[in-house]
Chains A and B, each alone.
Chain A
Amino acid sequence: QQQVKQSPQSLIVQKGGISIINCAYENTAFDYFPWYQQFPGKGPALLIAIRPDVSEKKEGRFTISFNKSAKQFSLHIMDSQPGDSATYFCAAGAGKSTFGDGTTLTVKP
């Protein structure tokens, strides 16, 4: 049973554009929703995280939008840059996170 569904699987965006990745979760007990960035051959690194008591969190070019009633959250990358090209994972849960399947983002110069 997949508890966190992530889409799209891959995404191509032009430099300067907005990248949007979506996730949906099933377990309403989840109370922590992080996004991770992973480059090839490296471990994931936390980008930004949100708790369900807020609907949006922004850190620099990265924004999480959270819809508790729909059990959905999304990552928006503004002014996407080639250096943002990586695989992005959403996750849910504070103690033991459940990961989405990942989205491979390619930002074309």
Chain B
Amino acid sequence: AQTVTQSQPEMSVQEAETVTLSCTYDTSESDYYLFWYKQPPSRQMILVIRQEAYKQQNATENRFSVNFQKAAKSFSLKISDSQLGDAAMYFCAYRSSNFGNEKLTFGTGTRLTIIP
């Protein structure tokens, strides 16, 4: 079974600075997807960024980028120019690419606080 580990329960960053959230995972599969979801106080799960394991290039979405290290099974999220609206819980998640096994496996989350 796949597992996802987020070792930082809480992080804080000064507004406009850069912060990196860590995530490691364990799997025996060679092809899969990795995600970062944001959960603001409203509790809705919002997709931040997605990475396909077969792609060597790291995904980027505006101020959000990932450092995907497949051999190390590491998938960190970098948030540049942090804004107050970035304050939320961030969950790393894994999904198999196998048909019939599309469920997400989540990490325990990292609570990000933005300091004005």
A and B: interacting chains: no
